[in-house]
Structure 1
Amino acid sequence: MILKRNLARAAAILTAAALALMCLSGCGQSKKSNKELNIIVWDGTWSEEMFQDFEKETGITVNISYVDNTDTLMSKLIQGNADYDLIDLEGAYVKPFVQHDLLAKIDQSKITNTKYIVDDYKKTGPIGDKNLEYTVPDMAPSYTSVIVNKKTCPIKITRFSDLANPKLKDQLAMVNATNSLYGAALQDLGYSAASTDESQIAEANALLRKIKKNVKAFVGESAVSQLESGECSVAFSWDYPTLCGDSDTNWDKFEEIPLKGGNEYCMQYWAVPKASTHKKEAQQLINFILRPKELAKCYKEYYAVPLEKKSAIAKYLPKNYYKNPSIKSSQRLLHNSWNVSVDEKQIALMDSYYTKLMGEK
């Protein structure tokens, strides 16, 4: 999925969304049935069978809308029909949502199935909600990583700046997400990915300019096709779990690199909009989804590193599920990672440099 995350225009969208949801809290709600929930989630992540199970058990109809990036989600919130009861929210956007008073606090005592979540994933919440008052983890973390074809990559890669090596000319596929690119460059240079120092961002841009010379393809969401076809021997993307879930022949073919400076950590969370008039039912759905038997249905349809403890969920998954190397890689990267939150000043600076970078030949 994931991620996913070009932050341009996000500041303006956030402000508009705040105003829109404040208005929605007082209008348009009376038409909803007490037996309906309107939710908005990422496409290609959740099992429809799981939602059908919830409907059969509770009698509550789940109306599902799908988005493929957070800007789309924000745009929907601005629209007059944006009366969602549950949203699947990127961790990077939690802080501004909380600051704009758009989320309702969750009664965590009602979400008893969080006991199944891997302890490391709930030790601390996203930036802006460290105590998990407004959010509940809904999937294990993913990482923006360097992925190499172990047979065809001509160099050993240990850090982001290695992608500037001339030996990688026309062999690199790279996501075009500004915060991922500039964050990785800043971390490599010894700065913080959250930096708003223009001199540091300019230095990161200079590194990206060198790396760009080797890029065969910039991709919006996935570099899987470039890697599997052999068009590129290296990618900077969040595709390692997808590659490994796609075919076990990729298990020995590709490797995810723990970067010096760390890998970008991305995580999704359930959140209930403050304007929702069905908060109790939304929390009921969250708890239902966290049943290991139900969550396993999602992983059978769309491979992912499990959010929940092996002892709780493994019996509902295929026997070889935990042999997938992306699970061990995810655990290895967890303590060598960084993440940032949407910041208006940083967005403006990065977007300015990114526009120039992509316009250069």
Structure 2
Amino acid sequence: MNKKHFWILALSFLALTACGKKEEPKEAAAPAAAPAPGANTEEKVLSVYNWPDYVAKDMIADFEKETGIKVNYQTFENNEALHAKLVAGNSGYDVVVPGAVFAKGQIEGGLLQKLDKSKIPNYGNLDSAIMAKLATVDPGKEYLVPWAWSYTTVGINKTKVMKALGSTPMPENAWDLVFNPTYTAKLKSCGIAYLDSPTEVLPPALHYIGKNAYSNDPADHKAAGEMLAKVRPHVRLFSSTMIDDLAGGKACVALGWAGDINIARSRAIENKSDADIQALLPSTGGLIFMDNLAIPKDAKHPNNALTFIDYFLRPEVSAALTNELSYPTANKASLAKVKPEIAQDKTVFPDAGTLAKMVAPSNFSNAARESLSNVYTAFKKGK
């Protein structure tokens, strides 16, 4: 057999062998592993919208370091500004901090989403007594987690106030210092500052004239406006920087929040100022307020928001806010970690008798807020 015939036969045999060989099945690619049930698959981003000077200095950085979630932290000056953002929609925020006075309307208006408490293991640290105070705002405890609480009151730089009053004694009711012309006429020389918001100024004014602090009656609002008009010439500032205004000496008397007044006191001490700043306890009571963590309905990162809320409810994290800013939280488990000098300060943690006199937070209807805004604008303009 010559070589040519040999190669023809060999090739034929190989071809027949190949045709008769069974092809091995290819191994199928393993399917991608599905995320574990309940796993957070959101991008590591969180947008927070809070009040100024209202977070412990290391909280955001520590949260980012532990979770890998980058926080975009911005601030607003009053409840009206936050509410406008939520009503407009597409705010871009995942966590907001509305006051109780606005929160009920935001819940009823569908602007906030229910909290998945299964993703907030530390929810049990909340004080049931404080949570009960939110019942008129969030009856089912489905939308809000308290961030901090305090009360609206009068703050003073005692040294300057005593000098300005001269022979006039301090009033029994601290509200007189900002609402009674007998006192405001004397105190205008060292500066009177009001919070710059209708829902912060009108409720204590209503309370002062014996009306329901959260009245929805326009006639009551008008009466409060008439009272305020008498002291308008004596008011120096409508302040969104109350802490600095008190600590820096721009005002000796303030209609403000006890927590901010106490921060101003600490800041003055740090700056070695001789300002003797005090939060007073009016004989007829201050107005309790509660600021609350909530998740907007259109939040893009609700799971990250729940992680943030749960992180804040750790005892040591909540206590850090109280220790640094003199604002109590609703975290009962944090009390053991609050500094003794702060825990014993009656202007931070009022005693039972003082608390009993204070007005609990409530809310206004949309129509009432418009009425309040009109009265406040006229007052501020001096009309």
> Aligned AA for 1:176?
D
Q: Does 1:306 align with 2:325?
A: no
Q: 2:59 aligns with which of 50, 60, 68?
A: 50
Q: Which amino acid aligns with 2:91?
A: A
Which residues in structure 2 correspond to 1:74-93 (within 5 Å)?
74-77=83-86, 82-93=91-102
Alpha-carbon distance, 1:350 to partner: 2.2
**2:374 equivalent to 1:352:** yes
Aligned residue for 1:130, secondary structure, equals coil
Question: Which position in structure 1 is the counterpart of 2:175?
Answer: 160
**Aligned positions of 1:206-285 closer than 5 A:** 206-215=226-235, 217-228=236-247, 232-238=251-257, 239-247=260-268, 253-276=276-299, 278-285=301-308
Provide the secondary structure at the position in 1 that maps to 2:204.
Answer: helix
Q: More displaced, 121-130 or 95-104?
A: 121-130
Displacement of 1:54: 3.2
* Separation of aligned partners in 2, 1:220 and 1:197: 27
Whether 1:40 and 2:56 are equivalent positions in the alignment is no
- CA deviations 1:252-281 (Å, max 9, x no partner) are 934333335432222111112222354333
Q: Which amino acid aligns with 1:344?
A: N
Give, in whole Å, the separation in 2 of the partners of 1:80 and 1:177: 22
Q: Does 1:142 align with 2:150?
A: yes
The residue type equivalent to 1:241 in the other structure is N
Q: Distance in 2 between matches of 1:231 and 1:278?
A: 41
Cα shift at 1:80: 7.4
Instruction: Name the residue aligned to 2:14.
Output: none
Which ranges in structure 1 are unaligned for 5 or more consecutive residues? 1-31
1:302-341 equivalences under 5 Å are 302-307=324-329, 312-315=334-337, 320-322=341-343, 324=345, 326-329=347-350, 333-338=354-359, 339-341=361-363
Alpha-carbon separation, structure 2, partners of 1:196 and 1:130: 20
Question: For residues 339 and 175 of structure 2, what CA distance do their matches in structure 1 show?
Answer: 35
Instruction: Indicate if the aligned counterparts of 1:91 and 1:127 stay in contact, CA closer than 8 A.
Output: no
Question: Which residue type is aligned with residue 170 of structure 2?
Answer: K
Residue aligned with 1:138, SS: strand
TM norm structure 2: 0.72
Cα displacement string for residues 110-149 of structure 1 (whole angstroms, at most 9, x for unaligned residues): 433233344432223264313321111111x122211234
Q: 1:98 aligns with which of 84, 107, 129?
A: 107
**Aligned partners of 1:282, 1:226: CA distance in 2, in Å?**
33
Equivalent residue number for residue 188 of structure 1: 208
Identical pairs, percent = 24
Q: Based on CA coordinates, which of the two structures has the bigger radius of gyration? A: 2
Contact 2:174–2:282 under 8 Å retained in 1: yes
Judge conservation of contact 2:93–2:296 (CA < 8 Å) in 1: yes
Work out the CA distance in 1 between the residues paired with 2:290 and 2:364: 14
Normalising by structure 1, what TM-score? 0.75
2:318 match: 295
Distance 1:34 1:252 in 2: 47
- 1:66, 1:228 → 2: CA distance? 21
Cα displacement string for residues 162-206 of structure 1 (whole angstroms, at most 9, x for unaligned residues) = 532424321433223222322222212221122233332222122
Report Cα offsets for 1:325-354 as digits up to 9, x if no partner.
Answer: 532448765333233324222222222222
Report the Cα distance in structure 1 between the residues aligned to 2:281 and 2:220, rounded to whole angstroms. Answer: 23
Alignment check: 8 A CA contact 1:67 1:73 kept: yes
**2: CA distance, partners of 1:35 / 1:308:** 28
User: For 1:8-23, what aligned pairs fall within 5 Å after superposition?
Assistant: none
